[in-house]
Amino acid sequence: MKNIANIPDNGKQRVVIAGGGFAGLKLARALKKSRFQVVLLDKNNYHQFQPLFYQVATAGLEPSAISFPLRKVFQEQPDIHFRVATLDRVDTEKQVIRTDIGSLHYDYLVLALGATTNYFGNDNIRQNAVPMKSLTEAIDLRNTILSNFELALNETDAETRKSLLNIVIVGGGPTGVELAGALAEMKKYILPKDYPELDFNQMKISLLEASDKVLNGYSEASSRKAKAYLEKLDVEVRLKAMVKDYDGSQVMLEGADPLETHTLIWAAGVKANSVPGMPEEAAGRGGRLVVNEFTQVKGFDNIFAIGDMALMTADKKYPNGHPQVAQVAMQQAALLGKNLNSEKKKGFRYTDKGSLATVGRNLAVADLPGLRFQGFFAWVLWLFVHLMAILGVKNRLIVFINWAWSYFTYDQSLRLLINPKRKSSAKLVEEEV
């Protein structure tokens, strides 16, 4: 296989970073002006801000507002090379990665490919439910929701119309809770104005959680408050609700009657993206790669895993691994950057800066070290933290303007149903003739 073009051997040791998410991007930035040549690979040419995917899905933000071109981050950095590529395989013996655009030798390899949706082996759910682990999937979810409303307008059967309006969300973590709250506010403030012919009293938003509380990992007070906020917004919250199957119109539950819906959103779990070529003994729970306190993958000195891919059990506070959140990813990346640049290595210890989750307008929960509060001030803090975490001043300004507009007008202007379709080769030939 050919080598990836135009990446010269400049005499420096090469660090290849697979994945341009929170962890990969943070590490690449930490290694600029270092003694290494850095090659960053990602299947997209942009960094995507995952915590706000749900706002794209509910027409609150445009996709470009939470995306940032990776090449722009590394302008005027001659020793950092970026390529749009998909990692196909790692040859650990030859220290070579193989991608869809060619192969590349590495001195150090950092795997930061993140996680994907976990359907727990249920093919029907995988085929019929809508996930939300990428910007593309968030846009697809928005299209699905809006398309179903358009279909409901022309549906004469009352039961089918209700099924098109109903939305079921599986998973009571931050993604599920925030998405349920955003959809509930759309139902209350926006959809009746867009679709006056429809009776939105018939629309039901259901949040299903297999455990006995929403926001697992948060404090009991925050969990209870989040549930109360959702119910205040007329979201049906079902705890200990185990989904067995979904055929595209019915959600089958364990020990309960099925739910009728054409929109099932799956936010019930994640698993690490697989890396062909890595030995089986390096894989742990959830497909994550087992790493030591220096984030070195089990059995290797020069291969690292950080972020959602890494399973570190050395920290006694987290015997099952650290939570798969952005703060862990960025802290691991920052430390690895220092360790690669230093002879003296330091082990990773996660500093939990707290957890935030918003449910709706003026409604949020905050679990900070030594401090827990809910309501308006938690919501303001959530806005500030997420706004500052977005890459690019222009993007922050766009997001702030969108949020301010929605807050004061009770409206959103991004309810666009965009379904891009590619013409087939046969069609193009026909048109040319």
For the annotated catalytic residues, the residue numbers are 178
Rounded to whole angstroms, the Cα distance separating 259 from 249 reads: 8
CA neighbours within 13 Å on the CB side: how many for 143?
Answer: 14
Amino acid at site 144: T
Spatial CA neighbour of 119 closest among 110, 106, 128, 111: 128
Q: Helices marked H in 196-252 — which ranges?
A: 220-232
Q: Which helix (H) or strand (E) holds 138?
A: helix 135-153
Q: Are 2 and 103 in contact (CB under 8 A)?
A: yes
Amino acid at site 127: Q
| 3-state DSSP percent of the chain in helix, strand and coil, to 5 | 35, 25, 40
Reading the block at residue 341, the tokens are: 């640049």
Q: Are 382 and 356 in contact (CB under 8 A)?
A: yes
List the Cα angle 37/38/40 in 5-degree steps: 155
Spatial CA neighbour of 171 closest among 215, 208, 116: 208
